Chain A
């Protein structure tokens, strides 16, 4: 499997030498001694440790804070690849927003029978508590992280949507800063789209969705569960780089349906909250009556239209595993066209025909529990024993609705600095997509996660995964590509892609 993969720099397996567009990068890799690459990599990791860019590992009390390994070899997207990818991302995020607007409003998609009713109503991620509330400017999924895998130059597949509180953007920014400092020659050689405007874009997105009547200068804050949270560094980093307060629930009070923060000079009204806490801990009056955590009255303020919550409560229904396999239908329903960015092919075992296929091909497929996570309750057919396969066969027949199956993909690789020198390693990718009241923007970069173990497909940081910088190259001509139909334009210069045509889709749907 590993040896057959498309390498993003070296090209398809049968190819001799690098992809023609990336010959220069290949030269750089050859010309820079491995020791020198390693020295730079270690310098970057030292900086990360000093800055405290760490994540907490649960159940590991001794080394409770670790850095995620960083790999010095960047992962590169050509301008035309990125433009196509962006179109797909925009279409998907617009569909996610339209879906959330519909599912907590009219539920047209259920009435028209596109999705099985029980899939939504029986799903704990569908939050009836907030049904009927309309977020300011009808934007729900302001910040999406779409997890992708790649098998060829233009063959991207969505592995997972993250429409709740996707993390990782600080790695995108810190990795870039390290690369600029340690490998400046790459940036004079390649025209790499800048990502450092992300905090400005995010703040702009937040301000654009502030409730009406907040005036020219809405007060924005980042809400964190606190500094013991594993992603705290990112929360503080984002608040810091946007120049807004980083608050915890105890810093906020709601009075008369207005949210305030407690300051040394008294209360200050808050208009937009980028929350990095789960729905369950937003408001104990609404979501978890048994919990004292959260901000009592926050949902009342939100329902009264006095505060914007980013991302909107209830978004979990859009990125749930059980919903994932229906995303092509969801995209088609709201955008009127086929999904430009396909899912990984998925067989829903609840459907008899799919179940039959899966049972016939168990040794080729990955079978997953719909409600499982972290690799628990998963069968990887090609590496499983006869015994494991038969155990799964019995489980599948007993409760087919709990399972989905997917083919094992030949994930792309990127050269990575291993102990023995440069060697291909599998990667995945999380680009970040921002939606404000003025449309959808794709940040030209993202988080590349790399499985550092040879042949491994597991990129999770808790299981030996690392990160790489992700370069998005700009066209030499700095050209604008336009697709007439959707009016999607890719503007190389400021490195962002905007969609104008469907920005108000949610409003048309009503």
Chain B
């Protein structure tokens, strides 16, 4: 399947900024089941741009923007050819041991409610394919889908008490529950064409480690494993660690962020 992606981000600052430095995790890598045919990161202002890779194996881009700047338009466009994989990852760059992803973070720390939930769904089965699919369904069934941008800094324990959840929060619940049962799990940010156009955020789902199989993707929003409809871009302990943009600015005032993501399948 050929997926074309259009991801536009606009920052507006109420005061001109003297300097902006941003770390982007916005470039997908080739894997066995995903070939990046075309990819562009475009910026509407002068900047020095360097490419690198972080400890998790994500491709990174650093933007060094000199001020005064009161608006930044960042546009990411590209085409990725995907193939069917049953959710099992092949050919991804994996510099770190899977068991590292048992570690929790402030955003993904399971509380008693999530721990109980995980025990009820997974039982003593641990990281089997069947148990994790049960978890994936249980998480997806538990919430209605919240539209709109994920609430910054929302911890999974709080998200768990709500009726509606964004894809990010669903993935966080899955990750926290899996880790609570001793299954390494991580956050994946990327794109999916099974969502409406002009979404206010890229998509997010989870990977879980299954002994003997390796990393397997789970998308609780779709209640299934990602297949050819997903494009993986970055992984991390949680959504912040895998987030497309981390930025700092030197200057006064507030900022406003607008994001529009569209993904279309072409045949």
Contacts and interface: CB of A to CB of B under 8 A. Distances in A.
Given A284-B248, A296-B21, A304-B50, A128 B64 contact: no
A510 to B, nearest CB: 16
A128 B62 contact: no
Contact of B64 (A254, A290, A292): A254
A257 B96 contact: no
A129 B235 CA distance: 12
Contact of B100 (A121, A254, A290): A121
Interface residues of B, number: 27
Contact of A131 (B21, B55, B103): B55
B50 A256 contact: yes
Interface in B2-27: 19, 21-23
Nearest to A253: B19
B91 interface: no
A361 interface: no
Interface in A112-137: 117-118, 121-122, 124, 126-133
B134 to A, nearest CB: 26
Given A133-B55, A300-B62, A286 B23 contact: yes
Contacts, number: 75
A250 to B, nearest CB: 9
B54 to A, nearest CB: 6
B21 A303 contact: no
A245 to B, nearest CB: 20
A336 interface: no
A100 to B, nearest CB: 14
B95 A132 contact: yes
Interface in A216-245: none
B54 A129 contact: yes
A110 interface: yes
Contacts of A303: 52-53
B60 interface: yes
A289 B246 contact: yes
Contact of A122 (B55, B95, B103): B103
A256 B182 CA distance: 41
A290 B248 CA distance: 10
Contacts of A117: 97, 99
A316 B153 CA distance: 27
Contacts of B246: 284-286, 289
B102 interface: yes
A297 B52 contact: no
A68 B247 CA distance: 42
Interface residues of A, number: 31
Nearest to B60: A300
Interface in B144-175: 153
A107 interface: yes
Interface in A161-216: none
B50 A121 contact: no
A132 B64 CA distance: 23
A253 B54 CA distance: 20
B60 A127 contact: no
A67 to B, nearest CB: 38
Nearest to B54: A129
Contact of A129 (B52, B55, B248): B55
B62 A257 contact: yes
A255 B55 contact: no
A122 B184 CA distance: 11
B248 A285 contact: yes
A256 B21 contact: no
Nearest to B23: A285
Given A296-B248, A297-B64, A254 B21 contact: yes
A303 B240 CA distance: 21
B55 A127 contact: yes
A126 B48 CA distance: 31
Given A121-B100, A285-B21, A128 B55 contact: yes
A110 B97 contact: yes
Contacts of B60: 300
Interface in B82-137: 95-97, 99-100, 102-103
B39 interface: no
A391 to B, nearest CB: 25
Interface in A285-320: 285-286, 289-290, 292, 296-297, 300, 303-304
Nearest to B21: A296
Contacts of B99: 117-118, 121
14 contacts: A118-B99, A121-B100, A122-B102, A128-B55, A128-B56, A128-B96, A129-B56, A254-B21, A255-B48, A285-B248, A292-B248, A296-B23, A297-B23, A304-B50
Interface of A: 107, 110, 117-118, 121-122, 124, 126-133, 253-257, 284-286, 289-290, 292, 296-297, 300, 303-304
Closest 3 CB pairs of A and B: A131-B55, A296-B21, A256-B48
Interface of B: 19, 21-23, 48, 50, 52-56, 60, 62, 64, 95-97, 99-100, 102-103, 153, 240, 243, 246-248
Given A117-B99, A128-B100, A303-B52, 7 more contacts: A117-B97, A128-B55, A132-B53, A256-B50, A285-B247, A289-B246, A300-B50
